[in-house]
Amino acid sequence: MAFQNADPQSLRGFLDMVETRFPEEMLRVRQQVSSRFEPTSLIFELEKAGRSPVVLFEDIDGKPIPLVTNVAANRRLLAACLDVDPSDLPMAFRERAQRYLPCETVASAPWDEVVLEGDDIDLTALPIPLQFSVDAAPYITAGQITARDPETGVDTTGFHRLMLKGKDRLGVSLHSRRRMYEFHRRAEAKGDNLPAAIVLGVHPLHYMGSMTYAYPPHVRKFEIIGGLFGEPYRLARCGVADLEVPAGAEIVIEGEILAGVHEPEGPFGEFTGYASYRSTQNVFVAKRVRMRRDAMLHSVTAGMAKDHILISCVTREGEILNALKRNLPNVQAVHVPHSTCGAFMAVVSLKKIADGEPQMAAMAALSTELYTKYVIVVDDDVDIFDMNDVFWAIATRVRAEKDIFFVPGCKGAILDPSSDPENFTLTKMGVDATRPTGRDFAERLVISDEQRARARSILAEAGVAL
């Protein structure tokens, strides 16, 4: 399968960029593999080896549709989408996600080449992986659901896990309790189903833009995604409620989320690294499937895979940085580590001018992002992307009785297993790991850049590659 000259706003355009500029980051698996556990196992083995390539499985279960995964697992590739250095990725996301661009509606899209209706709909024909032994069924994990607010008409798009229940039936959890949950609640209050389209196979910048939460209610997420691309995002109308979806998508499943219907959904291997039994237990019924003649199925590797979490890290870094910069311009950077589920902890780099600023930064970060429950604020001499350096700052600069504070009774994430199972509240924590102001403090040992460069040259001559 070749991707040359593909639409640059499409998944194929991204794959073309990877194969052209970063061929070492594209892995094609040509042998037949089983959709049961094997794609997920392969991705986790690559991660243990320190590798995060995009993986294209050309033969899944002998089905004609290939499977692409690990699309969003590599900071280098995500940064290339914005043409920036990986270290500048959160800042670039923060700035461009605020450049809302009106969308362009095109007359037709490649996903209209094959149209399936009625008894011809069979979602089980897709090579949907069963990722973990705890999963209740195979899950569509890269499904971007698009729907409109029944009251304002403004649409949204975002990821929601979709459990395969039958040829035309999917279980869906709207547990983020954000816009899609509210749109469904408003439709249900009127006794109506919520018309929706599930889009599969989108560019990582769509993935990234869909994870944005702090924006005005009248702004479409597609306008945010256009800002990331630096040009209007091209959409086409599908056949349900005149919804518009990305013209470059691979597959579009049209249908509705039922009102007043709840069925068991889950467990599912979530980003927390645990099986999640928490769900809103909603149901999506497919009315029509449209796809490219040579369609690929895009799947996000679940659990704590970087494919599942990394963009959450980047978007949360950008969102928190944006909030902090409003009142603390001396904040330098924010990092949300993958190892903390891409959500639960944030590290803030601060060029501290006065006492109390670390506490302000921590409280602002905790109030900005629902999922974040621990914030560590460090001086700007600490590398926030090196957790060894962060823990060194905690170990040498924190006095627990004065530098750690707690905020009880906060709303937490429904999927956080440590939150109260009845109301999903918990205690959040801020840690001031900065040096005290107004007095001398122990001087940090430093090796200069020149000394490091000389050391690397000596090692290279000795045959040691770093």
Q: Angle at which helices 89-96 and 306-327 pack, to 10 degrees? A: 70
Can you give the pLDDT of all 466 residues of the chain as single tens digits?
A: 667 778 999 999 999 999 999 999 999 999 999 999 999 999 999 999 999 999 999 999 999 999 999 999 999 999 999 999 998 998 899 899 999 999 999 999 999 999 999 999 999 999 999 999 999 999 999 999 999 999 999 999 999 999 999 999 999 999 777 899 999 999 999 999 999 999 999 999 999 999 887 788 899 999 999 999 999 999 999 989 889 999 999 999 999 999 999 999 999 999 888 899 889 999 999 999 999 999 999 999 998 899 998 988 998 998 899 899 988 999 999 999 999 988 899 999 999 999 999 999 999 999 888 889 999 999 999 999 999 999 999 999 999 999 999 999 998 888 888 888 888 889 999 999 999 987 788 888 888 899 989 999 989 989 887 7
Give the Cβ contact number of residue 242 at 10 Å: 9
Instruction: Work out whether strand 345-350 and strand 162-164 pair parallel, antiparallel, or are unpaired.
Output: unpaired
Closest CA to 146 of 54, 242, 3: 242
SS3 per residue for 150-213:
CCCCCEEEEECCEEECCCCEEEECCCCCCHHHHHHHHHHHCCCCEEEEEEECCCHHHHHHHCCC
Could you tell me the domains of the chain?
89-297 (2.30.110.10), 328-433 (3.40.1670.10)
* Amino acid letter, residue 144: Q
Q: Please say whether the beta carbons of 265 and 279 come within 8 A.
A: yes
Q: How far apart are CA 330 and CA 328, in angstroms?
A: 5
- The residue count of the chain comes to 466
For residue 251, list its beta bridge partners: 200, 291
pTM, to two decimals: 0.88
Tokens 């940064």: give the residue. Answer: 79
Concatenating the DSSP letter of every residue in 340-394 gives GTTTSEEEEEE---STTHHHHHHHHHHHH-TT--EEEEEETTS-TT-HHHHHHHH
Q: Please say whether the beta carbons of 284 and 144 come within 8 A.
A: no
Tokens 């102001």: give the residue. Answer: 437
